[in-house]
A and B are shown apart, each in its own frame.
Chain A
Amino acid sequence: MNNRVGIIRSLRDRLAITLIGGAAVLAILLYLVVRSYAAQIAQQGQDSILAASVTSILDAAILRDGEVEVDFPYASFSMLSTDSDDRVFYAIYQDDELISGYDTLFHSDPIPDADHRFGTATLQNAEVRVASAARTLIGAQVTTVISVSVAQTQDALEVTLNRISRNAAGFGAGFFLLATALSFWATSTTIGPLKRLTSSVTRRGPQDLRPFEQPVPTEMEPLVASLNNLMGRLDQSLSQSEDFIAEAAHRVRTPLATVRSYAEATLQRVGKPENRHALRSMVKAIDESSRAAGQLLDHAMITFRADHLDKQDLDLGELVGELVRSLTPIAEMKDVRLQIRCPETVNVQGDAILLQNAIRNVIDNALKYSPAESDITISVSNSAEDRIAIRDEGPGFPENNMAMLADRFTRGSNSEGITGSGLGLTIAQDVVIAHGGHLVLANHAEGGACVTLSF
């Protein structure tokens, strides 16, 4: 029953990988969006301060007697102070001519009286943000354009951005972890009904072919429906074949019984030795065929059941006792005594029907080979090694082919004249092996055969 099923990646893994992968992509995206948005906001903040600074300088520029005069208000630079001690640069041009500040400062050539222009440049090995604006000054005689650029390094901005990035990364990681936990929860919730179905199939006994009735999710309904359908068909075909076997046995055995009864009755009336011989042979042949048919069916049943034993807690002494009671009338006909030796209670786990059948076959054998007025001793013990030992006082097993006797259709070399199918010991052996044990055939030192069922 160990059929290997081709296995592809589990549903749980697939689902988990998809969900976790999605969560990872989302977390990275979240991080990037938050970070770039934060950078944008921070830049806008710096830009507006730079613009205010530029405007305040521009506003301070006046024309006096045709000369440009700029009196920096204190606030124009103090507003730019930061925790990181960012450096500030400025440059003032009058009609493209530097009047004050750093000439290396990027000059963006702003359009007069328009909005501020912003840009990024490198100054003294540092990245700076530059804001520029220009204004037309109109005096009595002259009209001149004055433009102002203010630049600031971005150290404070960098610090802020790093902090925001860290927070965003933490946020992303948190999101990812939460999403992962949720995916595991979601996968196990989704897989749950499947697992429950699996365990309810596994826990069933071998004879339990009832349909499944627990509620299942819609997606699994077709699977369970086909499974139930299969179980139904299996159940039907099993009971059909059982019925068929019973019917076949009935059809074969009833006419045989008629023939046997007539033959026996006739035997009482005829006297001629040759007729008597013929009738006796007839009865023997009938016994042989009905016995073979019965044992073949039993053997088939045992082969079928051996794969999945119907194990129960058994009182072995009681089981053997019941069996012996039913065999006693047959034993008495030969004046053979069936003796049970069971000094203590022996409890085992086993399939009652199969064990009974196995023991019956061994006792049947012993009965056939026992001389009249002898004993058959059946010992039941608590030791697994000699669980049940059946000893007779007959001729014993032939030494030459003892090892083969439990094989199918093999009979002892001293079995001539005794009805048998050669299946009795095979049945007993199959049952004991199915119970994880073995069958030992031996001859007792004081004569007689001894069959030990160890399980």
Chain B
Amino acid sequence: MKFLLVEDNVELANAICSRMQLDGHVIDHAENLEDAAAFSEVGEYDLILLDIMLPDGDGRTFLQRHRTGKLDTPVIVLTARSQVSDRISMLDLGADDYVTKPFDHAELKARCRAVLRRKSGNAKTIVQLGDVALDPVAGNLSIRDQVISLRNRELRLLELLMNAPGQIFPKTKLVDRLFSYDDDVSENAVEVYIGRLRKHLENTRVKITTLRGLGYRLDHE
């Protein structure tokens, strides 16, 4: 997916960018409203992440201009304010959602997915692998003409594996992705979800291979 990040704090922007790139997304960074306007006119973004307090103005003015300019790119606001009243006015102005800083990347991704699901027009994110197709936005797994609805953790795990077939994922890494930092889960918890995915993929040409001591790998013939 292609993101536009509008954030004046360079350190935070770098951190978000590197985290997003790690997940295989493309992300452009604008430091102020002027750049943001220029970027959003040229690039075709799936989603805009917008900070509210910017050096050359309020992110809300960008939001207003963005909406009146008939651009329907969804916008998720990154806010450092926690006042509920502020949040409400943000949604009124046409933001699709918001996350409060500091945020969990998994939460940000979950919100992006929810927003994209609502704006079902952009369904071009399907990952195809052999006879298996995954629509991460809708949360559907299509095996030939059969459509399976995945649970959230199954979906996130499969997305991760399908985006990098052949790559070995250690269990620890998968735990980080699937569970929040609140949950003190053992690495074995991943096995449950791997087991479920294997069951879904039983009659396909896509296989999840266990590499003892190393992790898991998605293979397809």
**A residues engaging B (CB < 8 A)?**
242, 245-246, 249-250, 252-262, 264-265, 267-268, 271, 276, 280, 283-284, 286-287, 290, 293-294, 297-298, 301, 326, 328-330, 332-335, 353, 356-357, 360, 368, 372-373, 417-419
Contact between B101 and A264, CB atoms less than 8 A apart: no
Contacts of B152 in A (CB 8 A): 332-335
Contact between A276 and B172, CB atoms less than 8 A apart: yes
Residue B170 interfacial (CB < 8 Å): yes
Which stretch of B65-73, B76-84, B125-133 is in the interface? Answer: B76-84
Q: In B146-178, which residues have CB < 8 Å from any A CB?
A: 151-153, 170, 172-173, 176
Q: Which 6 A-B pairs have the closest CB atoms?
A: A261-B15, A257-B102, A294-B82, A257-B101, A329-B110, A253-B80
Contacts of A286 in B (CB 8 A): 102
Q: Pick the contact of A333 from B9, B19, B180 — CB < 8 Å?
A: B180
Contact between A261 and B16, CB atoms less than 8 A apart: yes
Contact between A332 and B114, CB atoms less than 8 A apart: yes
For the complex, give the distance between the alpha carbons of A332 and B176 in Å: 16
Smallest CB-CB separation from B115: which chain A residue? A329
Known: A298-B84, A335-B152. Is A330-B176 also a contact (CB below 8 A)?
no
Contact between B111 and A329, CB atoms less than 8 A apart: yes
Contact between B101 and A297, CB atoms less than 8 A apart: no
Contacts of B101 in A (CB 8 A): 253-254, 256-257, 290
Instruction: Other than A268-B22, A417-B182, give 19 A-B pairs with Cβ distance below 8 A.
Output: A246-B81, A249-B81, A250-B53, A250-B80, A253-B80, A254-B101, A256-B102, A257-B101, A261-B18, A261-B19, A264-B104, A276-B172, A283-B181, A290-B101, A329-B107, A332-B114, A334-B153, A335-B152, A353-B84
Majority secondary structure of chain A interface residues (helix, strand, loop or mixed)? helix
Known: A329-B107, A330-B107, A335-B151. Is A250-B81 also a contact (CB below 8 A)?
yes
Contact between A297 and B82, CB atoms less than 8 A apart: yes
CB distance from B124 to the nearest CB of A (A): 21
Smallest CB-CB separation from A296: which chain B residue? B82
Contact between A330 and B110, CB atoms less than 8 A apart: yes
CB distance from A289 to the nearest CB of B (A): 9
Interface Cβ pair total, 8 Å cutoff: 123
Smallest CB-CB separation from B172: which chain A residue? A276
Contacts of B113 in A (CB 8 A): 329
Q: List 13 A-B contacts (CB under 8 A).
A: A246-B83, A252-B80, A257-B12, A257-B102, A264-B104, A265-B15, A265-B22, A329-B113, A329-B114, A330-B110, A332-B110, A332-B114, A356-B84
Contact between A301 and B83, CB atoms less than 8 A apart: yes
Residue B11 interfacial (CB < 8 Å): yes
Contacts of B105 in A (CB 8 A): 261, 264
Residue B56 interfacial (CB < 8 Å): no
Contacts of A326 in B (CB 8 A): 97
Residue B85 interfacial (CB < 8 Å): yes
Smallest CB-CB separation from B87: which chain A residue? A326
Contact between B114 and A287, CB atoms less than 8 A apart: no
Smallest CB-CB separation from A356: which chain B residue? B84
For the complex, give the distance between the alpha carbons of A356 and B86 in Å: 13
Residue B88 interfacial (CB < 8 Å): yes
Contacts of B120 in A (CB 8 A): none
CB distance from B150 to the nearest CB of A (A): 10
For the complex, give the distance between the alpha carbons of A294 and B86 in Å: 13
Residue B100 interfacial (CB < 8 Å): yes
Smallest CB-CB separation from B170: which chain A residue? A271
Contact between B80 and A254, CB atoms less than 8 A apart: yes
Task: Digitize B85-126: 1 where CB-to-A-CB distance is under 8 Å, 0 elsewhere.
Answer: 110100000000100111111110011011000000000000
Contact between A264 and B19, CB atoms less than 8 A apart: yes
Known: A297-B83, A419-B182. Is A254-B12 also a contact (CB below 8 A)?
yes
